[in-house]
Amino acid sequence: MRPMAMEQFVLFIFMCCLSSRFVDAYDPVDPNGNITINWDFPSIEPNVYAVKVSIHNYQLYRHIERPGWRLSWVWAGHEFISTVIGAETTEQGNCTGRHGANGAPPHCCEKQPVMMDLLPGAPYNRQSANCCRGGVLSSVTQNNRTATSQFEMYIANFALDEHGDPKMPTTFSIGVPGYTCSNATNVPATRSKVDEQRHVQVLRTWQIICSYSQFRDAPSPSCCVSLTTFYNSTIVGCPRDSCGGANSPSAHQCLSGGEQSKVLAALPDADGAPPVPVIRCTEHMCPIRVHWHVKQSYRGYWRVKVAVTNYDVVSNYTDWNLVVQHPNLRSLTQLFSFNYQPLIQYGTINDTGMFWGIKNYNEMLLGDGNVQTEMILEKDPSDFTFSGGWAFPRRVYFNGHECVMPPPDQYPSLPNAAWDVRVSAVQRWLVAGSCLLSLSMLFLV
């Protein structure tokens, strides 16, 4: 290879690697989704400053489940947290020689504190607005009111920059797999909401953006899709080892027969840590399977049944959600047992929708259980067909994780003699004209 060609090749590889850093977290279904953390400063005194920290989940369909967020950072100097309301740190650290408000011991003296939300039912004098949900954040589509969490803290002994302003902490993390956070940046300070009727002006605002990537979340997928239809007896199951084979280091524990010891070993410990997944042994080895069944065809409509099965025998999915991309969702006419909201992100293109459970009915997907729905969609003569895999979804996500689809060449197909339902008006007139011409020729003979 010539020197110039070699240089161009190296430059090409470098640009590909560089660009992959930025496209890694891009989500075509939710291109603007992120978790935004604001540090609002209502006051800065000579010895202490107050800060109100708010965590906003601006993602359309991804939510934070238990054990919830764990916000951490590294102080620029020797700062310590005097008091905090609405949250608490996991460790106090060594506070020798340091005093908080009114001479009380400081709340935390760690160089890298880890802050977590209070649990429901915390004492009233420790609560703040939008706190005390155990770190759980809803997606903005499911429940915008519980997509925000807040706490307040007072910081003492803070370091100053060359302008005499508090130095920004570094190395922010939200403590949830798959998320990486930016450095803090100054943004225009506006105001902070105190209650339903009052806002107060803030002196400055630091902002941190956390983005999600499924590649950073888990080494292997966590769900898969299977397909069936009324017009074909073939059952297209999830691809084998969709979520990692038995010998894969990322494979889940597999339960076969009456192996109760694995179930007992996976139960939550006294500290409330989430249980270790234990799934039923299957060919796909996935905790979640989404089954899409084309159930029936009517004159102007068609019917689909969707079932979500949880193969994890020890874990429940609270406030689960399902995102499906299919061109006919724009003509969804009736839905049973689920909530639904279209996710329109590109102009007027309406081919992606989000499904979730009904409160107090099926918003929790139990371990070793399932939830299911049926939907009726109107046929659009311009594009509707049962051939070529058109009736099956393009993408499926469960709880923000993209599911493994079967290979397109394995999709259930129409019988060879079957008539494609996508027949245009011109084609119908041509067929009718041909029939009339044949009949007239018979009468002439």
Percent of the chain residues past pLDDT 90, beyond the cut: 60
**Average model confidence (pLDDT) across the chain:** 85
pLDDT of 423 reads: 46
* pLDDT of 363 over the 70 cut: yes
For residue 100, CA distances in Å to 61, 78, 84, 86 come to 41, 14, 11, 17
Q: Which pLDDT does position 10 carry in this prediction?
A: 41
DSSP 339-394: EEEE---STT---EEEEEEPTTTTSEE-TT-EEEEEEEEE--TTT--SSTTTTS-S
pLDDT at 140: 94
Q: Over the stretch 272-309, which tens digit does the pLDDT of each residue have? A: 566 777 888 899 999 999 999 999 999 999 999 999 99
Across the range 13-22, mean pLDDT stands at: 41
**Higher confidence at residue 69 or residue 203?**
69
pLDDT at 12 over 60: no
Q: What is the DSSP letter of 277?
A: P
Residue 4: CB atoms within 10 A of its CB come to 8
* Residue 43 scores a pLDDT above 90: no
In the three-class reduction of DSSP (H, G, I as helix; E, B as strand; rest coil), residue 161 is classed as coil
- Give the per-residue pLDDT at 185: 94
Q: Residue 239 above 90 pLDDT?
A: yes
pLDDT at 440: 56
Read off the pLDDT of each residue in 322-340 and give the average, rounded to a whole number: 96
Per-residue pLDDT, 264: 58
What's residue 11's pLDDT? 44
In which residue are the tokens 């560089």 written? 18
pLDDT the model gives residue 22? 39
369 residue type, one letter: G
What is the per-residue pLDDT for 377? Answer: 97
Q: Residue written as tokens 């004492």?
A: 123
Task: Out of 157-166, 294-303, 403-412, pick the least confident.
Answer: 157-166
Find the mean pLDDT for residues 353-381: 95
**Residues 81-122 pLDDT 10s:** 999 999 999 999 999 988 877 778 999 999 999 999 999 999
Written as one letter, the residue type at 284 is H
Please count the helices (runs of H) and the strands (runs of E) in the chain.
Answer: 4, 28
- State mean pLDDT over 311-317: 90
Residue 171 is predicted with a pLDDT of 97
- How confident is the model at residue 422, as a pLDDT? 47
Give the model's pLDDT for residue 270. 47
Q: Tens digits of per-residue pLDDT, 167-176?
A: 999 999 999 9
Q: Check residue 262 and give its pLDDT.
A: 58
Two structure tokens written together for 174: 């939200």
Instruction: Enumerate domains of the chain plus CATH numbers.
Output: 26-215 (2.60.40.290), 220-414 (2.60.40.290)
198 pLDDT tier (thresholds 50, 70, 90): confident
pLDDT of residue 246: 65
pLDDT of residue 406: 96
